[in-house]
Structures are given as structure tokens and as C-alpha cells.
Amino acid sequence: MDLNETLNWRYTTKEFDPTKKISEADIDQVKNLLRMSASSINLQPWQFIIAETKEGKERMAKGTQGFFHFNEPKITNASAVVLFCAKTSVDEEYVKHIVDTEDKAGRFPNEEIKNGFHGAMNAFINIHKYDLKDLQHWVEKQVYLNIGSFLLGVASLKIDATPMEGIDVKALDEEFGLREKGYTAVVAVSLGYRTETDFNATDKNPKARLPESEIFTII
């Protein structure tokens, strides 16, 4: 993968070709991108709803009614849509679940290191829960870390993507019963393949980025 080529090829797709579908093999890689993302203290505070069927995308499109109607075609014409969801609480039971998962994977050479990791997880969670009082915001930051690597990853597969904060998260929480499960919708990302008429494609509409002199300080 040529990283610069991939970065320049990727853009926010405005029109998806509804006749083009992502292969099953590529969908498997898409799932692996989601699962293998980095997160602070390996918290993995997320769930993903992947809509591939017509019925599934229609359910997802319920989050684009009313004010967000302009995003509906980006869901219904896409090959697949991923709804990124964040946990709404992080309790000791969940922390222990993460620690046990790491232990089963062979991450800890001894009990002392396992206990140290467990204590470190709780220490960082408590900083955000009690000191900074931004636990939910911090959890959602981890989801955004996933989204960032996800967009680059799917681009490396030559799959187009459109990240959308322009969705009715309450409607989607209700549609998929997320709050009862301890999650809330954050961002939807549509996946598929661009049309030849997409005005935002990089071969028609070059990327615009701030110059290096404006954004870098080298010390």
C-alpha cells in the first residue's frame, strides 16, 4: 500500500453506485478493521451495527429523516453502512471482562502484571470519571480513534466511504434498542463505490488542506 496514494485517493463520497457491492472477502476485512482498532487502555468501548441488506439500510435510514434527509441516499445507495456506537457506562464488570480477555489471549506473563494492568485501567477510568468528569466524552474519543483508522483502512481496499455525524442518534438508539443494551449511536459510515458523476471525487475536485507551514511546528 502506498500511503500517500491512498490518502489522496480517499475522499468523502457524495454519490454511491447502488449496483456495485462489496465482496464478502472485503466485508471480512472491514470487520477486522473495526475489531483491531487501537483504543486507550485497550478499552474497546464500542459496538457496530452493519447494514448490508435493503431492509437493514432502510432501518438505518430512519436516522436521516427530517433535518438530516440529505444523507438518506448515502445510506440507501451504499453497499453497506456501519453504525459506530459507544458504551454509555464503564463499570468494574466490563473492566474485568477486558482483563480476562487479555489474560486468555496470553498477554500477561504472570499474575502481578495482570493485576497491574487491571489497576491501571481503573486508575485511568477514575481520572475521567471523577477528576476530569468527562468519562462519556472520553469513551466517544476511543470510538473516533476507530473511525479514523477505519477510513484509511477501507481506502486501502479501494472502498469508498462517507462518515456522517448528520444523523438522528436518538432515532437510531430507539430503532436498534441501543440504550437498553448500554450503548448509544455516534457516527454512521457508508461504504461502497463512487459513481462517475460524483462531483466530490478527487479526480474532479482536488483536496484542499492547510499548508505545512501553518500546521507544523518542528522543534
CA 103, 109, 113 angle in degrees (round to 5)?
A: 80
Q: Per the residue annotation, which of 5, 58, 92, 165 is the catalytic one?
A: 165
Q: Per the residue annotation, which of 15, 74, 87, 140 is the catalytic one?
A: 74
14 part of the active site: yes
Q: Per the residue annotation, which of 14, 57, 87, 140 is the catalytic one?
A: 14
Q: Smallest Cα–Cα separation from 142: which of 42, 71, 60, 39? A: 39
93 part of the active site: no
Q: Are 178 and 184 in contact (CB under 8 A)?
A: yes
Rounded to an integer, what distance in angstroms lies between the CA atom of residue 125 and that of residue 122? Answer: 5
Rounded to an integer, what distance in angstroms lies between the CA atom of residue 138 and that of residue 142? Answer: 7
180 part of the active site: no
Rounded to an integer, what distance in angstroms lies between the CA atom of residue 161 and that of residue 11? Answer: 7
Active-site positions read: 14, 74, 165
